[in-house]
Amino acid sequence: MLDIDQVIAEIDGAGTLEALEALRIQYLGKQGSISGLLKTLGGMSPEQRQIEGPKIQTLREGATTALAARKDALETAALDARLAAETIDLSLPAPASPRGSVHPISQVMDELAEVFADLGFAVATGPEIEDDWHNFTALNMPESHPARAMHDTFYFPDRNDAGREMLLRTHTSPVQIRSMIETAKANPGGAPLRIVAPGRVYRSDSDATHTPMFHQIEGLVIDKGIHLGHLKWTLEAFLKAFFERDDIVLRLRPSYFPFTEPSIEVDVGYSSTGGRRVVGGSGDAPGHAWMEVLGSGMVNRHVVTAGGFDPDEWQGFAFGIGVDRLAMLKYGMDDLRAFFDGDVRWLSHYGFSALDVPTLSGGVGTPV
Interaction pattern, residues 16-55, with ligand PHE; x per rule: CB under 6 A: ----------------------------------------
* 186, 145 contact by CB (below 8 A): no
Residue 296 makes contact with ligand PHE by CB under 6 A: yes
Residue 297 makes contact with ligand PHE by CB under 6 A: yes
Most distant CA pair in the chain: distance in Å? 129
Beta strand residue intervals within the chain, DSSP E = 101-102, 122-123, 129-131, 155-159, 165-168, 193-202, 213-223, 250-257, 260-273, 276-279, 288-299, 315-322, 352-353
Cα-flanking dihedrals φ and ψ of residue 277, to 5°? -85, 130
# binding residues, ligand PHE (CB under 6 A): 10
Q: Kindly state the smallest distance separating residue 185's Cβ from ligand PHE, in Å.
A: 22
Alpha carbons 298 and 136: distance in angstroms, whole number: 17
Q: Kindly state the smallest distance separating residue 296's Cβ from ligand PHE, in Å.
A: 5
- Amino acid letter, residue 79: L
- Amino acid letter, residue 310: D
Q: Kindly state the smallest distance separating residue 252's Cβ from ligand PHE, in Å.
A: 13
Residue 260 makes contact with ligand PHE by CB under 6 A: yes
Q: Which of 27, 121, 202, 257 binds ligand PHE (CB under 6 A)?
A: 257
Burial of 296 (C-beta count, 10 Å sphere; 0-12/13-18/19+): buried
Nearest residue (CB) to ligand PHE, 102 versus 266? 266
Residue 173 makes contact with ligand PHE by CB under 6 A: yes
Residue 318 makes contact with ligand PHE by CB under 6 A: yes
Q: How far is CA 22 from the centre of its chain?
A: 62
Nearest residue (CB) to ligand PHE, 281 versus 295? 295
Residue 320 makes contact with ligand PHE by CB under 6 A: yes
Q: Which of 24, 60, 134, 171 binds ligand PHE (CB under 6 A)?
A: 171
Q: Kindly state the smallest distance separating residue 270's Cβ from ligand PHE, in Å.
A: 21
Q: Kindly state the smallest distance separating residue 199's Cβ from ligand PHE, in Å.
A: 12
Residue 126 makes contact with ligand PHE by CB under 6 A: no
Residue 319 makes contact with ligand PHE by CB under 6 A: yes
* 347, 101 contact by CB (below 8 A): yes
Alpha carbons 171 and 215: distance in angstroms, whole number: 9
Interaction pattern, residues 53-82, with ligand PHE; x per rule: CB under 6 A: ------------------------------
Nearest residue (CB) to ligand PHE, 147 versus 191? 147
Question: What DSSP element (H or E) covers 3?
Answer: none
Length of the chain: 368
Q: Kindly state the smallest distance separating residue 236's Cβ from ligand PHE, in Å.
A: 17
Nearest residue (CB) to ligand PHE, 34 versus 139? 139
Alpha carbons 142 and 255: distance in angstroms, whole number: 20
**CB-based contacts of 295, cutoff 8 Å, min separation 6:** 255, 257, 260, 263, 264, 265, 266, 319, 320
Determine the interface stretch with ligand PHE among 10-18, 224-232, 270-278, 293-301 (rule: CB under 6 A).
293-301
Q: Which residues bind ligand PHE (CB under 6 A)?
A: 171, 173, 257, 260, 295-297, 318-320
